[in-house]
Amino acid sequence: MSKPRLVMFHPNMGLLGGAQRDLIVALPEHAKRWSITVATLNAPQLLIERCEQLGIDVLAPDVPWQQPTGPFAEITAKAGRSALKGWRRMRTRLQPALDAADACCIVLGTGGLEVLEIIPENMPLYVYIHERNKGIYDDVLQRDMDGKLRNSLFVKNLALSYLRRWDQRWHKRLWERPKSAVSANTPTSSRLLASSHGWPTSEDWIAGEVKFRDEFLRPAEVGVLWPAIDPSFWPSDETENERKVWERFEHKPSGPYLLTIGRACYMKGSKEAVQVAAAASLPLVHVGGGETEEMQRQAEKFGAELLIMPRIDEVEIAALMRNAHALIATARTEGFGLTPMEAAMVGTPALVVDDCGFTHTITDGLNGRRLPWPSTEEGLREWTEAIQQAGESTNRTAWSKAGRERILSRFSANHQAEGLARSLAAMGVKVEISDLEILPGLDPA
């Protein structure tokens, strides 16, 4: 029996952020159930190589689409309008795949629903929106590292009013579409997405259990589909290749260090990470670029030693993670937070703020520590105590074991692929599903 055909859309795989890498990680499991075509406006070499290995067709423009950025682009919704033109130009190339398809899936970091324009209305569709657009519906991206707004809220809301209407137009079109299901990557992300558009949310948080509001199979709620973590990339024991990479890593810290990963900014809590490192008297290693000059200024202000890594490859990141004293995660409005889970996979304690997506993955004292914001003396004291606990071998072993078990039982590529398959099967698509146990979401963990 031949596998059903699935067209998977992503507007810009070239970003290679969390949402894009999540799709690449899950593709092998999806490919066991589907004959897949991946369509994107920007296909990086990493995606092309993975799809070649799996026998998956990739459809993309000859000239990769570049997402417009900057204040003017935001005010005028230039990125969305440009993406819409890009998809329309690809319609002829995509039509044979769409004509043969049994279902479609859209995977998004934020925004990007313009592809709805070319997907047939009667086609079963699953839309996986990792998070709502932070730049439109909250102000974490409009603040400097100290938390001060770069412009007044009035100016921000006025400037983004057209972009917000553009975004809501496409979400409304999705919500009114028959044979459709919508999920985000955690209960927190689902609630935030739903609140922006007046939609209901799930009460069960079980991936693959979709509900419809009428006989046309229009969505009744925003559900959840958890991100996928690849255990083979984060082995519990150091590989020979990783050992060799670490031995010759020229930026290796000389002693114990704390690690933070992600673009330095207010949203990622970079200032707070610096405060924690200063209080613990340990160097802080930062990976991910961003507002690094301002982060360095914060380090000088609080008396912390900050080591900013240049661009390094994935094996170097894994080695840097494994050898850290602890991972520090202080992000605001984080949808899921992959890095604490990845840290647990390699035996490094994850210390996170008790906020948003981290509340669905880290159980305090079981697979890491979930701590208050380090904005008070008491909060900082709890962080320094947790950092001391992170150095104890019994804690490192126990937290990593519990973290790895949680990942393998909930956040594998197989769980994500099964959740997608069950959701589309509920729309009548004849796709293979299994008896894999999918547990309710931890809300909170």
Positions of CATH 3.40.50.2000 in the chain: 5-228+412-425, 240-409
**How many C-beta atoms surround the C-beta of residue 232 within 10 A?**
7
Pairwise CA distance, residues 238 & 241, whole Å: 8
State the CB neighbour count (10 A cutoff) for residue 445: 16
The answer to whether 342 and 424 have CB atoms below 8 angstroms apart is no
* Bridge partners, 182 (sequence order): 127, 222
- Superfamily grouping for domain 5-228+412-425: Glycogen Phosphorylase B; (3.40.50.2000)
DSSP string, 121-180: TTS-EEEEESS--HHHH-SGGGB-TTS-BSS-HHHHHHHTHHHHHHHHHHHHHHHT-SSE
**Helices 161-175 & 78-100 angle (0-180, nearest 10):** 20
Nearest to 367 by CA among 400, 325, 340: 400
Residues present in the chain in total: 445
Helix (H, G, I), strand (E, B) or coil at 46: helix
Residue 38, beta-bridge partner list: 8, 58
In CATH, what is the architecture of 240-409? Answer: 3-Layer(aba) Sandwich (3.40)
In angstroms, what CA-CA distances link 310 with 14, 176, 185, 286, 296? Answer: 20, 46, 29, 9, 14
- Strand locations in 268-402, DSSP E? 284-287, 306-308, 326-329, 350-353, 369-371
pLDDT at res. 39: 98
Contacts of 152 (CB under 8 A, 6+ apart): none
Q: For residues 356 and 329, is the Cβ–Cβ distance under 8 A?
A: no
Q: Which of 340, 339, 270, 278 has its CA nearest to residue 304?
A: 278
What is the reported pLDDT for 17? 83
Q: How many CB atoms lie within 10 A of CB 306?
A: 23
The predicted structure's pLDDT at residue 346: 97
pTM of the model: 0.95
Please, where are the H alpha helices in 4-62? Answer: 18-33, 45-54
pLDDT (0 to 100) of residue 152: 76
Nearest to 283 by CA among 273, 291, 292: 273
Q: Which pLDDT belongs to residue 136?
A: 87
pLDDT string in tens for the chain (445-residue length): 699 999 999 999 998 888 899 999 999 999 999 999 999 999 999 999 999 999 999 999 999 999 998 888 888 899 999 999 999 999 999 999 999 999 999 999 877 899 999 999 999 999 999 999 887 888 888 899 999 988 777 767 777 899 999 999 999 999 999 999 999 999 999 999 999 999 999 999 999 999 999 999 999 999 999 999 999 889 999 999 999 999 999 999 999 999 999 999 999 999 999 999 999 999 999 999 999 999 999 999 999 999 999 999 999 999 999 999 999 999 999 999 899 999 999 999 999 999 999 999 999 999 999 999 999 999 999 999 999 999 999 999 999 999 999 999 999 999 999 999 999 999 999 999 999 999 999 999 9
What pLDDT is attached to residue 155?
Answer: 66
CB 77 within 8 A of CB 83: no
Residue 238 structure tokens:
């150091």
